Structure 1
Amino acid sequence: MKIVVIGASGTIGSAVVKLLKQRHQVIAVSRSGGDHRANITSKASLEAALGAIGKVDAIVSTTGSAVFKPLAALADADFEKSLHDKLMGQVNVVRVGSQQILSGGSITLTSGILAQHPIPGSAAISLVNAGLEGFARAAALELKSANVRVNVVSPPWVKETLVALKMDPAPGMPADDVAKAYARSVEGSASGEVIDARKAVT
């Protein structure tokens, strides 16, 4: 398959690229490098990159950021950034990417464990992640007629990220294992599914 990975330079993205490259042609896309550059917060940027790449079998988005702060400290701008970046950015991936997916192909988005298991400080991130999961389920229904699948992977805390943040890595999951959930979405037949990366490892 010909697969685009957006956010390919990130911790999860690079692991997804490494895994999928073993079996498929992978085109790496990120804000600052890769085979093509794109910023998911700009619909025009995505249109340019995906238009240049052409028709593909799958698009995987492993990018998007949201603000982690106590609820009382979250300003309007923090919510706007979170909604504009990780949520609407990945909505853009579906809106633009669905025009480039071959029949039988798929789009995979990224939410996160804080949708189901929020913690203090995660209000904005939990909002965005839960929104992405609801959007993916609805988008899957609408794109069924085009024979395009849509799923969202929900990763737990990633071990490499915890190490980078100088936090205890023990509860984290290695990025290489998280990547298996994305492979399941791309290579499987499910649509409208929220794939818990912790349960996707075989």
Structure 2
Amino acid sequence: MSRSVLVTGGNRGIGLAIAQAFAENGDKVAITSRSGEVPAELAKYDVIAVRADITDAEQVDRAFTEIEAAHGPVEVLVANAGITKDTLLLRMSEEDFTSVLDTNLTGTFRVVKRASAKMLRARKGRIVLISSVVGLTGSPGQVNYAASKAGLVGFARSLARELGSRNITVNVVAPGFVDTDMTAVLSDERRAEIVAGVPLGRYAAPAEIASAVRFLSSDEAAYITGAVIPVDGGLGMGH
């Protein structure tokens, strides 16, 4: 059956690939972004785009209300929206730290809280949070980003215990380095250093992250909750 799916930050990169994977599966897909525009890659699907800044609880609520009117209550939530503001700790401003935490961690809290209320009434739901290998291994210059992504793990596992009795699963996908606009800005030297540390010897394609997310949202994954699934080419093994 076609489900109501919401992907936050679904306008580019990993989020776009996830939205496309669900749309190809026949689901009713909505995305949020700060622009509120449907990307060209999703134009051939019946996807709706809603403008929402997840750092604003009122905007989140309005976005859900609009999505629910079009597609019904959200049955699958993929919390993907996130930002980076990389710099070494001693150069990092208060705003650099708090803005990343407010978007990546507290923003996830806002959308998950809004979605889970309807899932509880329906006694079913799938929630997938997009973390990062950096949240498990750490990375110099990313203490804000790593803290926010590590926080998602504790958040998901606590919520999995809260919601499990209502047939709602909560899982985390932790991508490694993925070939997106965010990583395209890295120098060739830095890209080569990163690949050298990846056992599979390459970056991931966004579609490979999307496949893991779609699996965790499927009936086949009904007995998986509180899990952290690395999709990182082996970069973070053991963490």
1:41-83: CA deviations, max 9, x gaps?
A: 1111111111222212211121111321111111222211111
- Which residue of the partner structure matches residue 120 of structure 1? 140
The unaligned stretches of length 5 or more in structure 1 are none
1:197 aligns with 2:231: yes
Contact 2:133 2:232 in 1 (8 A): no
Q: TM-score, normalised by structure 2?
A: 0.77
- Asked if the contact 2:156–2:172 (Cα under 8 Å) also holds between the matched residues in 1, the reply is yes
Contact 1:50 1:100 (C-alpha < 8 Å) held by counterparts: no
Judge conservation of contact 1:66–1:81 (CA < 8 Å) in 2: no
C-alpha separation in 1, matches of 2:166 and 2:59: 24
1:44-123, aligned counterparts within 5 Å? 44-54=58-68, 55-101=73-119, 102-123=122-143
Shift of 1:105: 1.1
CA distance in 1, matches of 2:11, 2:185: 15
Q: Which has the larger radius of gyration?
A: 2
The percent of aligned pairs where both chains have the same amino acid is 29
Q: Superposition pairs for residues 29-48 of structure 1, below 5 Å?
A: 29-33=32-36, 34=38, 35=48, 36-48=50-62
1:15 aligns with one of 14, 17, 23: 17
Aligned equivalent of 2:172, options 147, 152, 159: 152
Partner of 1:28, secondary structure, is strand
Deviations, residues 88-114 of structure 1 (Å, cap 9, x unaligned): 001111111112334221111111110
Contact persistence 2:79–2:112 (CA under 8 A) = no
The TM-score with structure 1 as length reference comes to 0.90
In the superposition, relative to structure 1, how do residues 164 and 79 fare at CA in structure 2: closer, same or farther (>3 Å)? closer
Distance 2:118 2:12 in 1: 23
Structure 2: tracts of 5 or more residues without a match: 39-47, 196-201, 234-239
Does the Cα contact within 8 Å between 1:66 and 1:83 map onto a contact in 2? no
Residue by residue, what CA displacement relative to the aligned partner does 1:104-153 show, whole Å, maximum 9, x if unpaired? 21111111110122221121111111111111110111122332221121
DSSP-derived class of the 2:61 partner: helix
Counterpart in the other structure of 2:199? none
Q: Is the 8 A contact 1:66 1:128 kept in 2?
A: no
1:181/1:196 contact within 8 Å kept: no
Structure 2 distance, partners of 1:17, 1:57, is 14
One-letter identity of the residue aligned with 1:177: E
Would you say 1:178 and 2:233 are equivalent positions?
no
Residue in structure 2 matched with residue 25 of structure 1 by the alignment: 28
The farther-off stretch of 88-97 and 27-36 is 27-36
Residues 104, 148 of structure 2: 8 Å contact kept: yes
Q: Secondary structure at the match of 2:32?
A: strand
CA contact (8 A) 2:131 2:173 kept: yes
Q: Aligned residue pairs: how many?
A: 200
Q: Name the structure 2 match of 1:139.
A: 159
**What amino acid maps onto 1:135 in structure 2?**
F
